[in-house]
Amino acid sequence: MNADAALELARTANKIYAAKGKKVVVFDMKKDPPDDETLRKAIVGPSGNLRAPTLRKGKTLVVGFNEDTYNELFG
């Protein structure tokens, strides 16, 4: 999925968890949505595509893998 489609998908979520290594950034898309560039840096990889793995459950989007986040949300 290219960057534009990834941003479109992200804008439909209420909450986004973007994991890079041990760091997880949480975006509350209802209360304080980030600008496109901030969101793009968090969810799009160097290839220009949506980072993997990406999981959507309801209105929650998880991009990247962080075991603690997966256990907390889906545990």
Q: Which stretch of DSSP H or E encloses residue 9?
A: helix 3-10
- pLDDT tens digit sequence for 38-64: 999 999 999 999 999 999 999 999 999
Determine the pLDDT at residue 65: 96
Helix (H, G, I), strand (E, B) or coil at 69: helix
Q: For the chain, what are the domain ranges?
A: 3-74
Percent of the chain with pLDDT over 90: 93
Reply yes or no on whether the pLDDT at 75 is more than 90: no
* pTM, entire model: 0.93
Q: How far apart are CA 46 and CA 56, in angstroms?
A: 21
17 CB-near residues (< 8 Å, 6+ apart): 24, 25, 26, 60, 61, 62, 63, 66, 69, 73
The answer to whether the CB of 24 falls within 8 A of the CB of 16 is no
Mean pLDDT on 9-19: 98
